[in-house]
Amino acid sequence: MQTPQQKNTAGMPSTRELELARRQIERDGGTIELGSEELEERVTPRLASNHNETFLAA
Amino acid sequence: MASHAAAVARLNRLGLRCKAEARYDEGRAHYERALALLITRPAPDLDAIATLYHNLGGIEHARGDYAAAEAFAGRGVALRAGLEGADPGDLAADRSALAAILDGQGRYDEAEGLYREALRAFRRDPGARGWDIAVTLGNLGAQYARRGRLREAARLLRRAADLKAQVLGPGDPGVAVALNNLALTLLRMGEAGRAAALYRHAIGLLESSLGADHPWTLTCRANAGSALRPGVTPP
């Protein structure tokens, strides 16, 4: 599988968001410990997305 | 120890389930944990991050916080649109999801443009994108119903219901969404008997799949009140 390559920075996480994410992981107690092999892993299995259904109300 | 990728996938699945069960705060927390794991990677998987923004937008759409939903969903679109090699069907799904959020704010023309753009992309691969096509047709039909374009709305909603039943199975709650919206449209067209029959069908599906207390079940029951009241004769 080919990893999509970045063309621009639109929508990219900011430095502040990166810092907040690190704090989040610390708050979670570092539940995910990464081995060196996993650090090399770049592609997450394809994630499912949801649909936004319009549900009409009278 | 769960691998990083497996943890992200699991958190995403939990988020999807929480949204379906209307547990929005919990779902958002799962998505945010997954996002934190992804964005702190040395080489973040931007395609997966775009999907999580899409899903975070979905949680807020379901909750009715359209401003928050638009911020997340817009970011997902921008991120995936900037990726060389991204799946055009995934980008179309991002745009269709954003359109539903704009719809919720009454921004109908913007939403319709995105729905139509998404449908063109989905139809290039209809075998893989049947569910996406059905949801997008259904949402466009619901928009037309809101705008008073009732005949067009009924036609699209019927197609959405049929396609969902074909792709997802006749007992899926997604079918009930289309039936609820079609029933409301028919009621406005003066076809109370047909509307009553569709409401009964939709309520049965929602109660058996999502439960009697789910927000969709409660809304469908409230919608049905006027169609099912004494004096209205079903066909």
Among A33-37, A48-52, B4-8, the minimum mean pLDDT is found in: A33-37
Contact check, Cβ <8 Å, A13/B58:
no
A31 confidence band (pLDDT: 50, 70, 90): low
Per-residue 3-state assignment (H helix, E strand, C coil) for chain A: CCCCEECCCCCCCCHHHHHHHHHHHHHCCCCCCCCHHHHHCCCCCCCCCCCCCCCCCC
- Cross-chain CB nearest to B1 (options A33, A48, A51): A33
A-side interface with B, Cβ within 8 Å? Answer: 2-13, 17-18, 20-22, 24-25, 28, 31-34, 38-39, 41-58
State how far residue B184 is from chain A, nearest Cα, in angstroms: 7
- Whether A40 has a pLDDT exceeding 80, the answer reads no
Contact check, Cβ <8 Å, B53/A38:
no
What ipTM goes with this model? Answer: 0.91
Residue B115 sits at the chain A interface (C-beta within 8 Å): no
> What pLDDT score does B99 carry?
98
* Cβ-Cβ contacts under 8 Å, B4 against chain A: 32, 34, 38, 41
> Cα separation of B90 and B125, whole Å?
12
Profile chain B (235 residues) by mean pLDDT over runs of 10 residues. Answer: 78 96 96 94 92 98 97 97 95 98 97 98 95 98 98 98 97 97 97 95 97 96 82 47
* Cβ-Cβ contacts under 8 Å, A50 against chain B: 16, 19, 54-55, 58, 97
Q: Which residue of B has its CA nearest to A28?
A: B33
Q: Cα-Cα-Cα-Cα dihedral of B19, B25, B30, B34, to 10°?
A: 100
Do B7 and A28 meet the contact criterion of CB atoms below 8 Å apart? no
> What pLDDT score does B117 carry?
98
CA distances from B8 to A45, A51, B72, B82 (A): 9, 19, 18, 22
> What pLDDT score does B233 carry?
46
Between A7 and B135, whose confidence is greater?
Answer: B135
Would you state the structure tokens that stand for residue B191, as one six-digit string? 């076809």
Between A26 and B28, whose confidence is greater?
Answer: B28
* Cβ-Cβ contacts under 8 Å, B78 against chain A: 10-11
Residue B51 sits at the chain A interface (C-beta within 8 Å): yes
> What pLDDT score does A37 carry?
44
